[in-house]
A and B are shown apart, each in its own frame.
Chain A
Amino acid sequence: MEAQFGDYVALLKPRVMSLVVFTAFVGLWIAPVEMNPFVAFCAVLFIALGGGASGALNMWYDADIDAVMRRTRNRPVPAGRVTPDEALGVGLFLSGLAVVMLGLAANWFAAAFLAFTIFFYAVVYTIWLKRSTPQNIVIGGAAGAFPPMIGWACATGGIGIESLLMFALIFFWTPPHFWALALFMKDDYSNAGVPMLTVTHGRTVTRRYIFAYTLVLAPFALALGLTPVGGPVYLAVAVVLNALFIRGGWRILCRTEDQAAADSYRAEKSFFRLSLYYLFAHFAALLVQHAAGGW
């Protein structure tokens, strides 16, 4: 079956792209150097395009895994609507285009950062780590954590403690978010042979890790509130959300597998939902704080 335009859009993982757009925009907008709104818009667009390109490269390489997992088997490559070579071509072309255009629109440091992020996601995570270690989510999560740093670099041309803390916020949020998903989507990853922590170390260990990461995450989230981009609004949001996140992690830790199966993984699903709000609310709070003025 010949591909439709929407299939090529699907290659770019629009849902993941929305997170990239939002966090990159926040990183760019709250930076101390003001950018022309149109240049800022273009910069965020090219960061998103780079993120989408790495998604296409991921779909090219992971077509065999995607074909096995229920959640991903309808993606354009495993479904046969787009050939792997096409996905590779789209990924490489858009990667180059996004990097060059970001360099021209913003600066070459941000462009190099975007190129590194694409490399990290496509090569380090997808090709190297994903199939070889249960820490795949931990290290690979860095790729998803770079966009606010790239946004910040677009405006300032460099790195700051604020952008590093935004990175840490996403970096330490990613593992508990995905491990909670792995707890209730249990067959998918094991069928595909992906060494998720739930498969290699067991579900009890995974529960322990989720709780541990909520504890590690909280200081970084709160510390961001003490930097110049923080303020009372952000700090209040961070305190409440981190308390809820730690409580959610604690609930997951205290449950046995039988208890979880008995109520269809209610606590795990609710923690997963909370994790989505958690990240969105932190970055939204940064925007609100920026509009209201920081410390």
Chain B
Amino acid sequence: MGLRAEHELHRRRRGRNTGLGLVLLVFAILVFGLSIVKIRQGDMMQGYDHRPQVSRLPVDADASKGDPGRVPVAAPGTPAAEALQKDMP
């Protein structure tokens, strides 16, 4: 008997592999779709260090009038602004 003869075992294995392949494909599509949605929504991408980051804070337009070199800074009254105040020497 030639090696090409298909056994029941091969049929089952192929079904399993096809099924797993499809599951992985769907999973990849889901992760990709989730990434797109999360980026479009502007969800936190760098929130891991629990510290306000100046680059992610709303710019205070008035602050640039006096000293352009200081922008961007946190908007006054926000928790981030208070944290920056504390950090300042």
Genuine A/B complex: yes
B 50-83 binary contact with A (CB < 8 Å = 1; else 0): 0000000000000000000000000000000000
Given A36-B37, A38-B37, A39-B37, A3 and B16 contact (CB-CB distance below 8 Å) = yes
Contacts of A38 in B (CB 8 A): 33-34, 37
- B34 near A104 (CB under 8 angstroms)? yes
Of A5, A38, A104, A105, most buried by chain B (CB within 10 Å of CB) is A5
Contacts of B34 in A (CB 8 A): 38-39, 42, 104-105
- B9 near A45 (CB under 8 angstroms)? no
Chain A 1-36 residues near chain B, CB threshold 8 A: 2-6, 8-9, 36
Per the bound structure, the CA–CA distance linking A214 and B17 in Å amounts to 47
- B12 near A3 (CB under 8 angstroms)? yes
Chain A residues bordering chain B, tally (CB within 8 A): 14
Per the bound structure, the CA–CA distance linking A2 and B17 in Å amounts to 13
- B12 near A2 (CB under 8 angstroms)? yes
Chain B 1-44 residues near chain A, CB threshold 8 A: 9, 12-13, 15-16, 18-20, 30, 33-34, 37-38, 41
Contacts of B13 in A (CB 8 A): 2
- A5 near B37 (CB under 8 angstroms)? no
Query: In the assembled complex, how far is the CB of residue B12 from the closest CB belonging to chain A, in whole angstroms?
Result: 5
Per the bound structure, the CA–CA distance linking A2 and B15 in Å amounts to 11
- Interface extent on B, as a size class? 10 to 19
- B12 near A4 (CB under 8 angstroms)? yes
Contacts of A9 in B (CB 8 A): 19
- B30 near A5 (CB under 8 angstroms)? no
Query: In the assembled complex, how far is the CB of residue B33 from the closest CB belonging to chain A, in whole angstroms?
Result: 6
- A5 near B41 (CB under 8 angstroms)? no
Chain A 95-137 residues near chain B, CB threshold 8 A: 104-105
Query: In the assembled complex, how far is the CB of residue B45 from the closest CB belonging to chain A, in whole angstroms?
Result: 12
- A4 near B15 (CB under 8 angstroms)? yes
Nearest CB in chain B to that of A37: its residue:
B37
Chain A 28-58 residues near chain B, CB threshold 8 A: 36, 38-39, 42, 45
Per the bound structure, the CA–CA distance linking A99 and B81 in Å amounts to 35
Per the bound structure, the CA–CA distance linking A243 and B18 in Å amounts to 50
- A5 near B15 (CB under 8 angstroms)? yes
Contacts of A104 in B (CB 8 A): 34
Nearest CB in chain A to that of B17: its residue:
A5
Query: What would 14 more interface pairs be, CB under 8 Å, given A3-B16, A38-B33, A104-B34?
Result: A2-B9, A2-B13, A3-B12, A4-B12, A4-B16, A5-B16, A9-B19, A36-B37, A36-B41, A38-B34, A38-B37, A39-B37, A39-B38, A42-B33
Residues of A within 8 A of B (CB): 2-6, 8-9, 36, 38-39, 42, 45, 104-105
- Nearest first, the 8 closest Cβ-Cβ pairs linking A and B are A5-B19, A5-B16, A2-B12, A38-B37, A4-B12, A5-B15, A36-B37, A4-B15
Complex A-B: 12 CB contacts under 8 Å: A2-B13, A3-B12, A3-B16, A4-B12, A4-B16, A5-B15, A5-B16, A5-B19, A6-B19, A9-B19, A42-B30, A42-B34
